[in-house]
Amino acid sequence: MTWAVVARKDFADARRSRSLWALSAVFLLLAVLFASLYAFVPEISSGSELDSIGLLGFLASPIALFVAVASLVIAYKSVAGETESGSGKLLLGLPNSRRDVLVGKILGRTLVLAVPVVVGLVAMLAVIFAADVSFAPVDYALFVAVTLLFVLVYIAFFVGVSASTASTTRAATISVLALVILEFAWDFVTIGTWFVLNGFQVPDGLFTNDLSAMPDLVAALASLPPSAAYMNAVAGVLGNSMTGGGAWFLSNWFSLIVLALWAIVPAAIGYRRYSRADL
């Protein structure tokens, strides 16, 4: 067996469970709900002309949060669960290396989450056409591609965490802590850093999300979490410019490198620990 076989088995197991169908239903409802709010509630679109670019920009933040939380649920037990139950020995008893298992788990779990995301984004087209929203197919396809990359990133992150420990309890604890820090508490890091750099005085625009108002170091910190990098990449794709402004490490194209690092580094650390673990 190879990593591809592991991935197929992992996806097939999830397909037979209720988790894939539940995720598909939840994301479908959320996508249609937010698309309907944008299309049919004038206050949401601020009275501007309705177009798919504005809709996708409106959807990027809730999609990022959904993907982050769903990735944790799907991936935190992926390797640790098999190690804890003893089934990991059986999997490695077949002609699979530990690298095959890790790569297969990442790709299999990515497919599990990619399916509901694609289903929801495709179903959202019905709202776009029903509301006569101006549709840009190329921008829409690029948005889907960046979103699927984001799915892969967060799945790889949590599979890496799962591979780092033989306990599902520890994997869950580390994963939840990482999610809380990256998705909910990171603003305190950027605000605190800006406050210190400003001589322990409150700078103008401290509580805004305007990167242009921040020093480069603070803006780089604000752009570091996976969701922030995803939002910057989406902004570049929808704005038809990946250059952005300011320092090169604040450009939209660099956010793609940040996303890649969030996938590669945790997965590499997880593989290193998994390869040395006594199963």
What pLDDT is recorded for position 257? 95
What pLDDT is recorded for position 232? 92
Q: Rounded to whole angstroms, how far apart are CA atoms 266 and 179?
A: 13
50 contacts 39 by C-beta, under 8 angstroms: yes
What pLDDT is recorded for position 95? 72
What pLDDT is recorded for position 251? 87
The domain tally of the chain equals 1
3-class secondary structure, 267: helix
Task: Tell me how many degrees the CA angle 31-49-210 measures, rounded to the nearest 5.
Answer: 75
Q: Which residues, 6+ apart, have CB-to-CB distance to 16 below 8 Å? A: none
3-class secondary structure, 240: coil
What pLDDT is recorded for position 103? 92
Amino acid identity of 60? A
Q: Rounded to whole angstroms, how far apart are CA atoms 91 and 207?
A: 50
pTM of the predicted structure, to 2 decimals: 0.91
Q: For residue 266, what are the CA distances in angstroms to 38, 110, 270?
A: 36, 15, 6
Task: Quick: pLDDT tens for 143-159.
Answer: 999 999 999 999 999 99
**Domain encompassing residue 66:** 3-276
Q: Rounded to whole angstroms, how far apart are CA atoms 224 and 226?
A: 7
Task: Quick: pLDDT tens for 167-184.
Answer: 999 999 999 999 999 999
C-alpha 191: how far from chain center: 23
146 contacts 237 by C-beta, under 8 angstroms: yes
Q: Rounded to whole angstroms, how far apart are CA atoms 136 and 53?
A: 7
What pLDDT is recorded for position 146? 96
Q: For residue 2, what are the CA distances in angstroms to 91, 101, 118, 122?
A: 11, 8, 26, 32
What pLDDT is recorded for position 210? 64
Task: Tell me how many degrees the CA angle 145-122-73 measures, rounded to the nearest 5.
Answer: 70
- Other Cβ atoms within 10 Å of 79 Cβ, number: 31
Q: For residue 91, what are the CA distances in angstroms to 2, 74, 83, 215, 227?
A: 11, 19, 10, 50, 33
Residues in the chain predicted with pLDDT less than 50, given as ranges, are none
What pLDDT is recorded for position 126? 87
What pLDDT is recorded for position 2? 77
